[in-house]
Amino acid sequence: MTASWPDFDPGELLSALTGRGVDFVVVGGIGAVLLGSPRLTRDLDITFAPDPLNLESLGEALVELGAQLKGVEDDVPFVADAATLRRVQVLTLTTRAGEIDLLAEPEGGPGYQKLRKRAERINVGDVTVLVASIEDLISMKQAAGRPKDLADLEELETIRRLRRRPGPC
């Protein structure tokens, strides 16, 4: 029996979000990867600005991606609009480009505006995205405390130490 991975194209997810002008910061496993972690991950975690115009743009991007509630077999109506997005703290979705988790206020994070201000700008293919700072990712991983987050902590601490070393890396 061969296990198969669901399709995952983080470039397409990020392009859809940036193409709609969504104000967001990448967190989670992809955030760690973009900062230098060798971690394997199969979903994109983001946090987003909570203002109504941004929620509308986020909803449009999700509709464009064909977003559906993850793990829900029944035909449950789901509308990715500003009203729905305003009411959720965590939303896990599947799209044609893979899974995306929306985190209104990531545990251990400093709040969206501070998180955004401290984020790094990183080019990913044809788009530039904001990625949570290594310090903020470490805080969020500590707060989550799951085994995979604790493993990520070791890698992130190593990356932080390497970044602090003088001279070429």
Per-residue pLDDT 10s for the chain (169 aa) are 555 556 899 999 999 999 999 999 999 999 999 999 988 889 999 999 999 999 999 999 999 999 999 987 777 777 888 889 999 999 999 999 999 999 999 999 999 999 999 999 999 989 999 999 999 999 999 999 889 888 889 999 999 999 988 766 5
Q: What is d(CA 122, CA 133) in angstroms, rounded to the nearest whole number?
A: 11
Question: In the chain, where are the structural domains located?
Answer: 10-146
Which tokens belong to 3?
Answer: 């296990």
110: closest CA among 146, 87, 134, 140? Answer: 140
Q: Does domain 10-146 have CATH number 3.30.460.40?
A: yes
Q: What is d(CA 68, CA 65) in angstroms, rounded to the nearest whole number?
A: 9
Contact 65, 46 (CB under 8 A): no
| 3-class DSSP assignment, residue 43 | strand
Kind of pairing between the strands at 90-95 and 68-69:
antiparallel
Predicted model pTM: 0.91
